[in-house]
Amino acid sequence: MPGVLAGAMLAFTLSLDDFIISFFTHGPESVTLPIYSSLKRGLTPEVYALSAVMPLFTVLMAQIAERFTRRL
């Protein structure tokens, strides 16, 4: 359990750092996933759909990686 907690904290820290870097360094011509800026204007159905798909995609990729590592 301590390893899982340490991994979760490390993943959170790295993802927060990536968000800050992309938020402050993007230019007017570059477009990233507009989740943060859409939260300021109001939530749209696209934000809800993306918020549902992203964790499902992550779980699916973790399951696929787990199956490949079990075979080795």
Q: Specify the higher pLDDT residue, 28 or 66.
A: 66
31 has a pLDDT exceeding 80:
no
Judge whether 53 and 45 are in contact, CB under 8 Å.
no
Segment 47-61 mean pLDDT: 85
pTM (2 d.p.)? 0.45
When pLDDT is cut at 50, 70 and 90, the band that residue 33 belongs to is: low
DSSP states along 1-56: -HHHHHHHHHHHHHHHHHHHHHHHH--TT----THHHHHHH---HHHHHHHHHHHH
Residue 42 has a pLDDT of 73
Structure tokens at 53: 């798909």
